[in-house]
Amino acid sequence: MELLPLSVLLMLLLFVILGSGVWIALALAMVGLVAVLTKLSVPAGQVLATSMWAASNSWDLTALPMFIWMGEILYRTKLSEDMFEGLAPWLQKLPGRLLHVNVVGCAIFAAVSGSSAATCATIGRISLPELLKRGYDIKMAIGTLAGSGTLGLLIPPSIIMIVYASATDQSIARLFIAGVIPGIMLAGLFSGFIVVWALFNKDRMPPPDPPTSFINRVVATRRLIPIILLILGVIGSIYGGLASATEAAVVGVFLSLALSWWMDTLNWTTFSDALLGAAKTSCMIAFILAGAAFLTAAMGFTGIPRALAEWIGEYNLPHWQLLTVLTIFYIILGCFLDGISMVVLTTAVIMPLVQKAGFDLIWFGIYIVLVVEMAQITPPVGFNLYVLQGMTGRDIFTIGRYTLPLFFLMCLAVVLIVMFPGLALWLPSTMLDVK
């Protein structure tokens, strides 16, 4: 069989199976099985067993359930309420005032979560009712929350970075550190947009709250101390070379349990719910990774990724043109798949092409996370849109329209890291002892 018809057949088969409602992991494995069976000399059962075992038997993946569990624990605390009360007094002077709570709050919670949807839900359940009660523009309140929630993927610890690192055999710790500056940059772009919008739409801003004294603002800031200590414990231990990503995840779980106990939210119900939620999510992701590993191995036997890389390489496309094509491809794919599925589904085909083009795989991981962030706010399969649909009752296409300006800011962020790769690579390069 020629490779081009075979690749088209496999792609059509995958979309048909996914469209029929079959689990993503099973769909990936079924397509992989068909691909292996086209090579009669290859033992399909042996490839299935070895590839899935190799994908599951990875020490680095231990960090995945731990970070998910940490996020589940914190979701059930009063952390978001404390963050709103601690941040609000300091943001009153900025144009846009409390709209910045969405951005800063999501950025801070992203540093202890790792999930975009969890970040959006945790911050939104406190900030959204407060913003609407005080008369802030509903489109801006919802749009900035949906967009800022995507910071949960970029600012470490990030679940999708762990998935990418596992799929490409890269350092999780270096990926985490590489995401710090781009994450701060993206949060700055979001806040800058709020400032510009507020300056040009003063008539749509509510009256300012009564001024708060400096002493009262300092007192309110005390409510931020627990989450700051948690961030220092998790990210600081990695940056300082004291712990690997997996060890930092254990530190994070311990500190989040201690924080939950200190806030009087730790009981048997919250503990068991958080543990069960983390187990379900971790098993789902691990199942997808196993199916993707089999598909990756099967694609390797067919020779499609190598042939595709050579075919595109013949055109000698400049890096910016190649990245433009990949960005459009991922944006379209993000309309139908979640971020984790996008990463594991495309790794087998894209990585040979990326390596042939000479891209740094740590940098490319940050690029992938940025374009996957867009998928969180693009209908009809944008997780953040579904989260806010449940909170507001508005349909996902309306919420997607509210979020459109922030989508374009993410496109700008992609352009910036392409033009200035050091935004993602400078910080990891200073940490030679981090594995």
pLDDT one-digit tens code per residue, 351-373 = 877 887 888 999 999 999 898 88
Residue 15 within any structural domain of the chain: no
What Å distances lie between residue 352 and 137, 143, 305, 310, CA to CA? 47, 37, 6, 9
pLDDT in tens, 292-335: 777 777 776 777 666 666 666 666 778 888 888 888 888 877 77
Residue 195 within any structural domain of the chain: yes
Least confident segment among 49-58, 190-199, 265-274, 411-420: 49-58
Q: Is the pLDDT of residue 28 over 70?
A: yes
pLDDT in tens, 412-431: 999 999 999 999 999 888 76
Residue 297 within any structural domain of the chain: no
Residue 87 within any structural domain of the chain: yes
Collect contacts of 309-314 with beta carbons under 8 A, ≥24 apart: 309/352, 309/353, 309/355, 309/356, 310/356, 312/353, 313/353, 313/356, 313/357
Residue 344 within any structural domain of the chain: no
Residue 104 within any structural domain of the chain: yes
What's the whole-number mean pLDDT along residues 57-83?
A: 76
Which pLDDT belongs to residue 116?
76
How many structural domains comprise the chain?
Answer: 1
Give the structural domain span for 192. 59-275+377-429
Q: Is the pLDDT of residue 1 over 50?
A: no
Residue 353 within any structural domain of the chain: no
Residue 155 within any structural domain of the chain: yes
Check: CB of residue 115 under 8 Å from CB of residue 152: yes
Taking the whole predicted model, whether its pTM rises above 0.75 is answered as yes
Which pLDDT belongs to residue 363?
94
Q: What is the share, in percent, of the chain residues with pLDDT greater than 70?
A: 89
